[in-house]
Amino acid sequence: MNESDIRVSKPDYIVFVPKNRPDERGDSYNDHFQVFDKPDGRLFAAWTQASREGDQDQHIAFSRSTDKGATWSTPTVLAGSECGLRPRPIASWQQPMVSSSGRIYVLYNQQIEGKHGLHHQHCGLMFGRCSDDDGETWSEPENIPMPRMQYDHPDPSMPPDWCNWQRPLRLGKSGKYLVAMTRHAAIEGRRRNATQFLQFENIDDDPAVRDIDISWFSCNEKVLAVDSKFCNICEEASLVKLPDGRLFTLMRTGAGYPYWSVSSDDGQNWTAPKALLDRDGGTPYLHPVSPCPMYDWKGTEAGSGYYFAMVHNTFDFSADTAWQNRGPLHLIAGTFQSAADQPIWFAPPKLFIDRPKGNSFYTSSTQVNGKCVLWYNDKKYYLLGKVIDDSWFEGILPIT
């Protein structure tokens, strides 16, 4: 273990360090790192793991902590192919939820053998498993049917191309789980990655996985999309709740900036996306096609008025692609401004990690001992956690 390399971002928690034994398990690629908890403080983690991104051993890993993140269990594999020597169809992009009774659900994108769509690690059906004993044992995998959308592959036997990268949060109507989905399509030969939303209607009824009921919002012509000279991308949306009850979403795009939108009806309909500024009439944040996660500082479902997001704050508009270097990453802290068009205004960026490349943070957040923890995948390799304390919020505007 390279201790100095692990400590580059000054983490407070170390969840997983790869063993690099690919004949046993592909574990050097770790992505979509989703930590979640139960009311008693027990922590759980699910993520997508492989030897390399999209490799034949890509699978869903799961781990637990009973001491509030100090130590973690050896990961188990819930779906996919754990070793390249024993390949099976891959599984990716898991989404964990906990019902009111404590049942854990983990849904994921399951590749179907021989079906590759636009991209082999996005083309798949929605499958899932559930556990009533905190992950000791799991139900058999079951399929949750997905409705066909306007620009899905013309062959109805071809699964859709999709990805959920944030974990579902209780931000939907009546506290139901809501999550954004990236839907990948090819329209007249040009790729489009756009955002729609899913509300899980009956998780608290503890249904069998196959009986999970989903409502689909902002679909087909209502998807959130941002076209630019570089590409047609508006994807990987984060969700936060505003103090006035509206929802705010932040998405990565190929236009050189993150874009935002708001919903006044629990995520069913959304305003036209706009480029993220530091405040109304202010400076836009520059950002390549790279994750730009956003969270509520006081708790993912709190609606506190205090928020933070991650941006690179650089973009070269003279380049021929929006997929640019994912260099140093900055944290921007913001507060709710009730009379503003853009309802969250931000303080100046603060450097979070200064690696010259590879800062592609697919993250999650929880509260541990009353403190906000950002859980992140440093270099898509180490799985770490860092307390986001008051110092990151110095210089913010008061909530209005």
Q: For every one of its 400 residues, what pLDDT tens digit does the chain have, with 9 covering 90 and above?
A: 688 999 999 999 999 999 998 888 999 999 999 999 999 999 999 999 999 999 999 999 999 999 999 999 999 999 999 888 888 999 999 999 999 999 999 999 999 999 999 999 999 999 999 999 999 999 999 999 999 999 999 999 999 999 998 999 999 999 999 999 999 999 988 999 999 999 999 999 999 999 999 999 999 999 999 999 999 999 999 999 999 999 999 999 999 999 999 999 999 999 999 999 999 999 999 999 999 999 999 999 999 999 999 999 999 999 999 999 999 999 999 999 999 999 999 999 999 999 999 999 999 999 999 999 999 999 999 999 999 999 999 999 999 9
Q: Which residues contact 377 (CB under 8 A, 6 or more apart)?
A: 30, 31, 32, 33, 47, 360, 361, 362, 363, 383, 384
Residue 91 in 3-state DSSP?
A: strand
Question: Nearest-CA neighbor of 168 among 386, 299, 364?
Answer: 364
Q: Which tokens go with 8?
A: 């580059």
Class of domain 3-393: mainly beta
Q: How many whole angstroms separate alpha carbon 336 and alpha carbon 126?
A: 35
pTM: 0.98
Question: At residue 62, what are phi and psi to the nearest 5 degrees?
Answer: -140, 135
Amino acid of residue 384: L
Residue carrying structure tokens 């058999």: 140
Angstrom distance (rounded) from CA 197 to CA 169: 12
